Amino acid sequence: MLEIRKLDETAMKKAAERWNSIAKPLHSLGVLEEDVIRIAGMTGNPSVSLDRKAVVIMSADNGVVDEGVSQTGREVTAAVTRNFTYGNSCVCIMAERAGAQIIPVDVGVAEPIGECGHKYPLKHCRIMAGTRNMAVEPAMTREEAMAAIQVGIDQVRKLKEKGIQIIATGEMGIGNTTTSSAVASVLLGKEAEQMTGRGAGLSDEGLEKKIQVIRRAIALHRPDWNDPVDVLSKVGGLDLAGLAGVFLGGASFGVPVVIDGFISAVAALAAERLCPGCSAYMLASHVSAEPAGEMLLKELGLKPLIRAGLCLGEGTGAVAALPLLQMAVDVYESMSTFRDNGIEEYQEFSHA
């Protein structure tokens, strides 16, 4: 079991006092202020810096694609993963603007990926050539799921050693909205249709098939909702398990980790259920357009920064939140105070 310390209350109190001293209306940056205060608590330091940013992208294939739950085949996973290494994908272009380093991780891409681009070298951490078809058999063994979780933890440890101060999460894996919906259905105790959306764009018929596949897999394997590793191994994916490890690593090493969208949030919930308290080290970027997006963040007790109907994945939502957080930190660290300007401070009033 990982050791996770509680947020540093002294650092958070000092951060809140700093915000209240800045020459602007109290709490006027909303969730941005709250997140900066929480980052101070995560790091144990009221002086906040987010200059060194990274995006960890877990890539893996899902055997359930054989059931026709996606418009595209598993070959797309390998193609997009290669594009990450060349810096030629949506998240890479956005990360470059945000000043974030891309860390693409092959945790289970079916097609072997050899030499590719060198802009963002691929981390070869392949556990297996994609999961098995969960509609027929468990997606993976418990040991394989645990190995994928460890990959995520290890990535955070290495990034912390390199001085990275905040990590955004991303994923790539055709079929992973199906696995994510299945895991969410079990962990939240909700019917599959409440958790399942159209992913990259399914027809009504395709959506119904996807729901039926999820129902069948859950009924067949009966994953234990009280055992997140059991759920991930039976109806989850290697990318989900790897991301759960990133969230666990963030909490263990005191590094803020930004949730991307639906898939990332499912992994975050699995991590929180596995190690209660680790959600204190998570930040929510946006509300996914997938049906369970809002529900998952509410379960985690997190407030999103962005509401823009995002559903692209790859880490694009998490990366979009990084400049907002950076701007908030710039104000927090640099802006003059009421006292500096010879202005009377705003008063805090309680409301009935």
The residues annotated with a catalytic role in the active site are: 314
In three-state secondary structure terms, 182 is helix
Helix-helix angle 204-221:176-188, to 10 degrees: 50
b/e per residue 18-53 (b: at least 16 CB within 10 A): bbbebebeeeebebbbbbbbbbbbbbeebebebeeb
Q: Could you tell me the two tokens for 292?
A: 């369970």
Question: How far, in Å, are 52, 92, 199, 216, 264 from residue 323 at the CA level?
Answer: 12, 14, 27, 42, 19
d(CA 76, CA 69): 14
Within 13 Å of residue 132, how many CA atoms lie on the same side as its CB?
A: 14
